[in-house]
Structure 1
Amino acid sequence: MEVKLFQKTQRDLAASINLVIDQYWDDSISEKEMIDLVQKLYINNEDKFKRNGKYTTVLRQQCGKRRLSVVSKVLNSSNVITK
């Protein structure tokens, strides 16, 4: 699966997160691929992910609770340190 790792805007980042999580839920990609992509997106776009320890408003609106719940679990259970 091809996803740009460096996103221009928060909306682009949200679209990429949605694509990755939705493809995982549709069994188009494996769990390991999904985890790797979410981690890479976070590492390369940390400033667009969170502000003051919370997901940005754009991400919350565009991705929704269920997807961000998956993202949180991936980031908290991995070696990626979230602030």
Structure 2
Amino acid sequence: MEVKKFYRTQREVASVVNEIIDDYWTDKLTDKELEGYITIIYENNLDKIIKNNEYTTIIKQQCGKNRLAVVSKIIGK
């Protein structure tokens, strides 16, 4: 899987996060790959993911609670 470091919109970030986590849930990615991809996306697109110490509305709507729970555990939030 090819993951870019920087994304233009919140919707693009949400879409990629969904794809990564779905691939992990279907055993296409290892734990280490999942953590690496999510960390890269989070660190380089923080302004599109977090506002006022919580996930942005678009990220919440597009990703859902289960996926964001995984992201939170990886980033240590």
Provide TM-score, normalisation by structure 2. 0.97
Runs of at least 5 residues in structure 1 that lack an aligned partner in the other structure: 77-81
- Give the equivalent residue in structure 1 for 2:63: 63
1:7-57: CA deviation from partner (whole Å, max 9, x where unpaired): 100000000000100000000010100000000001100100100000000
The residue aligned with 1:35 is: 35
Q: Where does structure 2 lack aligned partners over 5 or more consecutive residues?
A: none
CA distance in structure 2 between the aligned counterparts of 1:70 and 1:29, rounded to whole angstroms: 14
Match of 2:6 in 1: 6
Cα distance in 2 for residues equivalent to 1:45 and 1:24: 21
- Identity, in percent, stands at 48
Give the ranges of 4+ consecutive aligned residues of structure 1 lying more than 4 Å apart after TM superposition. none
Matched, 1:74 2:74: yes
Rounded Cα–Cα distance in structure 1 between residues aligned with 2:33 and 2:66 = 19
The alignment's TM-score, normalised by the length of structure 1, stands at 0.90
Q: 2-side partners of 1:63 and 1:4: how far apart?
A: 18
Corresponding residue SS for 1:5: coil
- Aligned residues between the structures: 77
